[in-house]
């Protein structure tokens, strides 16, 4: 996603024990805090950086538990509900965690994104043995600011799961939430399970675009751009090799902006991302790669006079030389002919 203009207003922080333990071990605060500039910059930078690198666009899943999505929507509509609704969110997370989930802090942040009310829900995982410290005033408990400063600014805790939500249509009282979610714990093998737990089970959300459809639209946008806007055949071939390689590698996620920065010349990136956007994808948002709807095993090259060259991705990369302008835009095939026959 593009860097959001996210400002922080109030923060609620609750302490959750290791997953699977008795609910009485939770420490819930009941009043929000206003962060100092140092802490505000810390949380804001963590949220923006994580969502920029790994954020995926999500919406409410009507078939999942609505506890958290309803609580987030309520906080956006009524900031006074932040303490009570954030406690509901904390209880929901504790209820669905298992013994493999380490202790941590559930952080619910009320602020504004692009001048609209917004809520960020973070899961911070900290070292075991660090005692959660609260400050009591007039019978209300808040997290101790010095404790929070020591915990976050000295790397004794890590922000592993991040989300940022707004209302889909603020003018409608029944509008549901939309947002971006990232999970910095996602790995090559177990990443899907971690993401499902946080996104589906806890938040009650789902991807706004299915992985298969997003992958299909990305490939379609890329190939349209290569064929319609890239005049140099040599460059066009290089870009196609990069696309095939990206579709075949072991990375779970694809972010159009990252693809452009990694594989395309600087001058080509804006127009490429415009094609991506026209196909319904946010250039800065990652999507989970699913190649079930696309052809990624090879290439088909059609020449001006009607000849067609078909081969694998390795053929295109290793055996086909696409010449540039000064070489006459031709193609050289570096391979021995096995058979020739009429048709």
Whether 26 and 38 share a structural domain: yes
Q: Domain containing 43: what range?
A: 6-207
Domain boundary at 207, 241, 267, which?
A: 207
Whether 144 and 274 share a structural domain: no
Q: Name residue, tokens 């415009």.
A: 274
Whether 189 and 291 share a structural domain: no
Whether 169 and 304 share a structural domain: no
**How far, in Å, CA of 102 to CA of 161, rounded?**
13
Whether 119 and 15 share a structural domain: yes
Asked if residue 17 is part of any domain, the answer here is yes
Asked if residue 308 is part of any domain, the answer here is yes
Total domains in the chain come to 2
Whether 170 and 26 share a structural domain: yes
What is the chain's alpha carbon radius of gyration, rounded to the nearest angstrom? 25
For every one of its 343 residues, what pLDDT tens digit does the chain have, with 9 covering 90 and above? 445 578 999 999 998 887 665 554 788 999 998 888 999 998 998 898 888 877 888 899 999 999 999 999 999 999 999 999 999 999 999 988 876 777 788 999 999 998 899 999 998 877 666 678 888 877 788 888 888 888 787 766 677 789 999 998 887 877 889 998 887 765 543 333 345 788 889 999 988 888 899 999 999 999 999 989 998 877 888 888 888 888 888 888 888 999 999 999 999 999 999 999 999 888 888 888 888 888 766 555 565 655 545 566 566 556 656 665 655 556 566 665 555 444 5
Asked if residue 30 is part of any domain, the answer here is yes
Distances in whole angstroms, Cα of residue 46 to Cα of each of 68, 85, 109, 307: 22, 23, 13, 53
**How far, in Å, CA of 193 to CA of 99, rounded?**
15
């Amino acid at each position: 996603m593009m860097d959001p203009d996210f400002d922080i207003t109030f923060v609620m922080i609750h302490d959750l024990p290791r997953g699977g333990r008795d609910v009485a071990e939770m420490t819930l605060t009941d009043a929000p805090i206003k962060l100092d500039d140092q802490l505000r910059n810390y949380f804001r930078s963590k949220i923006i950086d994580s969502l920029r690198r790994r954020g995926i666009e999500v919406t409410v899943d009507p078939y999942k538990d609505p506890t958290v999505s309803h609580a987030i929507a309520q906080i956006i509509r009524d900031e006074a509900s932040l303490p009570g609704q954030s406690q509901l969110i904390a209880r929901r997370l504790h209820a669905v965690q298992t013994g493999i989930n380490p202790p941590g802090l559930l952080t619910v942040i009320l602020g504004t994104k692009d001048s609209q009310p917004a809520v960020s829900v973070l899961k911070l995982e900290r070292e075991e043995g660090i005692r959660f410290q609260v400050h009591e005033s007039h019978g209300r408990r808040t997290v101790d600011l010095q404790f929070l400063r020591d915990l976050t600014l000295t790397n004794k805790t890590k922000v592993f799961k991040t989300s940022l939500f707004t209302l889909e249509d603020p003018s409608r009282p029944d509008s549901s939430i939309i947002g971006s979610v990232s999970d910095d714990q996602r790995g090559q093998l177990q990443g899907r399970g971690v993401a499902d737990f946080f996104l589906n089970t806890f938040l009650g959300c789902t991807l706004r675009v299915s992985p298969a459809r997003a992958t299909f639209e990305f490939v379609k946008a890329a190939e349209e751009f290569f064929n319609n806007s890239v005049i140099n055949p040599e460059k066009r071939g290089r870009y196609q090799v990069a696309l095939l390689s990206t579709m075949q590698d072991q990375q779970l996620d694809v972010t159009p902006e990252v693809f452009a920065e990694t594989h395309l010349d600087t001058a080509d990136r804006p127009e490429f991302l415009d094609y991506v956007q026209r196909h319904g994808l946010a250039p800065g948002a990652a999507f989970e790669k699913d190649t079930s709807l696309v052809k990624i095993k090879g290439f088909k090259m059609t020449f001006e006079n009607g000849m067609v060259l078909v081969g694998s991705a390795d053929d295109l990369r290793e055996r086909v030389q696409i010449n540039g302008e000064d070489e006459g835009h031709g193609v050289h095939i570096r391979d021995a002919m096995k058979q020739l026959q009429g048709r």
